[in-house]
């Protein structure tokens, strides 16, 4: 045992102490953490709040985090931290400056949920234009049984063909949304910060005002920045067509919720579908709850079983790369 090479190997093989802060955000009993536990001495918490995060993190060296804020105070009170694995694509929950100052590695998981988010985008668009649930409930309530004619409809049903879809944001999700829109025969206009990157693609890139003015449906697939915060607000809604439809599966802060609620209630915006809101979980005084003609889902765009399994696989690969002194999805 005096061989220094053996001693170093044993030290290297020793698992680091880690915490998974919000397992229930990813796992509803259909996800296994067993493989991750093979590489880290892992304590799993179903949920962590701002009140108990210091207690949960404690002397951990490794944090797997989703929405809990990991800032200067956390790094100061929990000085053993060497690695933060963000269990999502967005990593704004981590203070990058503080992490960099302490040489703490931060990773994220990009693009794992693209197909799932695109699917929900179209589910929200199709529900708005086909009114499936309204008619399903009507049939189950006996309305078709009691109908004097062979068919009926309770709200207008709209075709997508020939309509203009305005896409704000042209990353992986925006691109796939555009591909599907083409198959519906829609006219597509796109706003993105760097249209020159896609010069070879047959896409009509326009400024935001043209998106607002020409779109029958506007769908948001951009990050939340100073430029995009409250992009759906009264002054921009006023530029839109009467009867426009809006979809937001990106970030709640892209929408000024009072303004959207007012536009829905007035009929200026015919309908909307949102998977995200400014404050999550949703607050009981959110004005969208009582707004007309809106579908609200609880941030499930990323949450298919397929996407969640990919997410966990990527979390494991990121961490294995870290302990092997390799860089993978390092964001700082």
280 DSSP 8-state letter:
S
Instruction: In whole angstroms, give the CA distance from residue 199 to residue 214.
Output: 22
pLDDT, tens digit (0-9, with 9 covering 90-100), for 32-78: 999 999 999 999 999 999 999 999 999 999 999 999 999 999 999 99
Question: Is residue 46 left, alpha or beta, with left meaning phi > 0 and alpha meaning psi from -120 to 50?
Answer: alpha
Number of CB atoms found within 10 A of residue 161's CB: 9
pLDDT of 6: 44
pLDDT, tens digit (0-9, with 9 covering 90-100), for 235-260: 999 999 999 999 999 999 999 999 99
Say yes or no to pLDDT of 267 above 50: yes
Question: 299, 308, 310, 314: which is the annotated catalytic residue?
Answer: 299
Task: Using a pLDDT cut of 70, give the percent of the chain over it.
Answer: 96
Average pLDDT estimate for 272-291: 97
Say yes or no to pLDDT of 213 above 80: yes
pLDDT of 32: 96
Say yes or no to pLDDT of 1 above 80: no
pLDDT of 14: 87
Q: Is 310 a catalytic residue?
A: no
Say yes or no to pLDDT of 322 above 70: yes
pLDDT of 10: 41
What strands, in cross-sheet order, belong to the sheet with 83-86? 40-44, 16-20, 62-65, 83-86, 105-107
Contact call for residues 125 and 247 (beta carbons, < 8 A):
yes
pLDDT of 201: 83
**Which ranges in the chain are annotated with CATH 3.40.50.720?**
4-111+305-323, 114-296
pLDDT of 51: 96
* CATH superfamily ID and name for 4-111+305-323: NAD(P)-binding Rossmann-like Domain (3.40.50.720)
Contact call for residues 266 and 81 (beta carbons, < 8 A):
no
pLDDT, tens digit (0-9, with 9 covering 90-100), for 77-112: 999 999 999 999 999 999 999 999 999 999 999 999
Say yes or no to pLDDT of 3 above 60: no
pLDDT, tens digit (0-9, with 9 covering 90-100), for 185-210: 999 999 999 999 888 788 999 999 99
Instruction: In whole angstroms, give the CA distance from residue 254 to residue 194.
Output: 19
Question: 38, 72, 235, 280: which is the annotated catalytic residue?
Answer: 280
Number of CB atoms found within 10 A of residue 240's CB: 22
Choices 3.40.640.10, 3.40.50.261, 1.50.10.10, 3.40.50.720: CATH for 114-296: 3.40.50.720
Q: Is 251 a catalytic residue?
A: yes
* Residue of 253, 260, 184, 179 lying closest to 222 (CA atoms): 253
Model confidence at 13, in pLDDT bands (50, 70, 90)? low
Whole-number mean pLDDT of the chain?
95
Contact call for residues 39 and 15 (beta carbons, < 8 A):
yes
Question: 221, 245, 251, 256: which is the annotated catalytic residue?
Answer: 251
Q: Is 299 a catalytic residue?
A: yes
pTM: 0.91
pLDDT of 329: 98
pLDDT of 31: 96
pLDDT of 257: 98
């Amino acid at each position: 045992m005096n061989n220094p090479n053996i001693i170093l190997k044993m030290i290297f093989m020793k698992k680091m102490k880690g915490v998974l802060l919000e397992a229930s955000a990813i796992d509803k009993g259909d996800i296994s953490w067993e493989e991750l536990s093979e590489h880290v001495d892992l304590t799993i918490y179903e949920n962590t709040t701002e009140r108990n995060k210091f207690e949960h993190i404690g002397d951990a060296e490794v944090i797997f985090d989703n929405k809990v804020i990991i800032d200067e105070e956390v790094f100061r009170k929990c000085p053993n931290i060497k690695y933060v694995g963000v269990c999502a694509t967005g990593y704004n929950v981590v203070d990058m400056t503080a992490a960099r100052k302490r040489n703490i590695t931060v990773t994220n998981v990009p693009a794992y949920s693209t197909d799932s988010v695109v699917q929900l985008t179209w589910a929200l668009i199709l529900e708005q234009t086909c009114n499936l649930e309204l008619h399903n409930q009507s049939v189950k309530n006996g309305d078709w049984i009691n109908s004097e004619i062979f068919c009926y409809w309770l709200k207008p049903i709209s075709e997508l063909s020939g309509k203009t879809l305005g896409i704000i944001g042209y990353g992986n999700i925006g691109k796939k949304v555009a591909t599907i829109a083409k198959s519906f025969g829609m006219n597509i206009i796109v706003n993105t910060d760097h249209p020159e990157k896609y010069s070879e693609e047959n896409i009509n890139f326009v400024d935001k005002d043209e998106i607002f003015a020409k779109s029958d449906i506007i769908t948001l697939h951009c990050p939340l920045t100073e430029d995009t915060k409250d992009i759906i607000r009264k002054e921009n809604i006023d530029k839109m067509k009467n009867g426009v439809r809006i979809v937001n599966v990106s970030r709640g802060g892209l929408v000024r919720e009072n303004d959207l609620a007012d536009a829905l209630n007035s009929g200026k915006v015919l309908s909307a579908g949102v998977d995200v809101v400014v404050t999550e979980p949703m607050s009981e005084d959110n004005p969208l709850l009582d707004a007309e003609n809106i579908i609200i889902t609880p941030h499930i765009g990323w949450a298919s079983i397929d996407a969640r399994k990919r997410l966990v696989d990527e979390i494991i690969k990121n961490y294995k790369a870290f302990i092997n002194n390799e860089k993978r999805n390092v964001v700082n």
